[in-house]
């Protein structure tokens, strides 16, 4: 099963990706995680990506495409994969289409997780993350045992620059202007499954399974 998850930042794509990864026993490929790894290691690519991410802008295609290509031809993607946060633009989508056609593994379905902007802002403004192990928390949905301390490794939690309210608003503007057209792109291929992303994690999970025909 080869899937793409679409939706605004904070729509819950990552949470659903974890469920799908276990369901189909396939890896999730998140460009956000790839970039954050480079940022934590302070690589040249990480420094350049961080400038865009901190401003709520999309990382340019040339910094993304080669990493994704190298990742999807690895052995653990032989039976499928979940793309979370990629593609984000029509040029990226067309490049991905060509890449997958070349290796004979086209996308099966595109899940479009729909959440209103005001809900996105509330979700992301309440989010914190562990800078050491990457575990994430939320004041409404996943609260740490000791306030401000990671349950997994006892590191002090932080709020990412790209989760702050003003940055979130900028990211949503970028999404609506540049990423939303992807839905039309994949609808032309009859691959889009629209998911209502408002509700509990279990409620959204049930909608995803129903859309994919999973009991």
What is the reported pTM? 0.72
CATH number for the region 2-115+177-212 comes to 3.40.50.300
> How far is the C-alpha of 4 from the C-alpha of 13, rounded, in Å?
10
- Can you give the pLDDT at residue 88? 80
Binding residues: 10-15, 31, 36, 57-59, 85-88, 92, 127, 130, 133, 136-137, 150, 153, 160, 171, 199
Residue 205 annotated to the active site: no
Q: What is the mean pLDDT of residues 67-77?
A: 82
Catalytic residue among 71, 88, 123, 207: 88
Domain definitions of the chain by residue range: 2-115+177-212
Catalytic residue among 160, 164, 170, 209: 160
Residue 127 annotated to the active site: yes
Residue 160 annotated to the active site: yes
Q: Tell me the pLDDT of the chain averaged across its residues.
A: 88
- At 111-142, the pLDDT tens digits run 999 999 999 998 888 889 999 998 989 887 78
77 within 8 A of 28, measured Cβ to Cβ:
no
- Can you give the pLDDT at residue 119? 92
Percentage of the residues of the chain whose pLDDT score is greater than 70: 100
- Can you give the pLDDT at residue 192? 95
C-alpha dihedral, 158 to 162 to 164 to 165, nearest 10°: -160
Residue 123 annotated to the active site: no
Burial state string for 130-144 with b = 16 or more CB within 10 A and e = fewer than 16: beeeebbbbeeeeeb
- Can you give the pLDDT at residue 178? 80
- Cα 37 to its chain centre, rounded Å, is 15
């Amino acid at each position: 099963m080869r899937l793409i998850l679409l939706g605004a930042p904070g729509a819950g794509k990552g949470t659903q990706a974890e469920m799908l990864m276990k369901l189909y026993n396939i890896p999730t490929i998140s460009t956000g995680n790839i970039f954050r790894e480079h940022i934590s290691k302070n690589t040249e690519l990480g420094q350049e990506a961080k400038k865009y991410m901190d401003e709520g802008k999309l990382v340019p295609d040339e910094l993304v495409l080669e990493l994704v290509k190298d990742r999807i031809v690895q052995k653990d993607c032989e039976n499928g994969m979940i793309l979370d946060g990629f593609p984000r633009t029509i040029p990226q989508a067309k490049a991905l289409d060509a890449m997958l056609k070349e290796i004979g593994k086209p996308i099966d379905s595109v899940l479009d997780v729909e959440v209103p902007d005001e809900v996105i802002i509330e979700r992301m403004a309440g989010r914190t993350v562990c800078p050491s192990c990457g575990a994430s928390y939320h004041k409404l949905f996943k609260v740490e045992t000791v306030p401000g301390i990671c349950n997994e490794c006892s590191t002090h939690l932080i709020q990412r620059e790209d989760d702050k309210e003003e940055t979130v608003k900028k990211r949503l503007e970028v999404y609506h202007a540049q990423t939303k057209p992807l839905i039309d792109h994949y609808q032309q291929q009859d691959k889009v499954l629209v998911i209502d992303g408002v509700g509990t994690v279990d409620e959204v999970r049930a909608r995803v399974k129903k859309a994919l025909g999973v009991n």
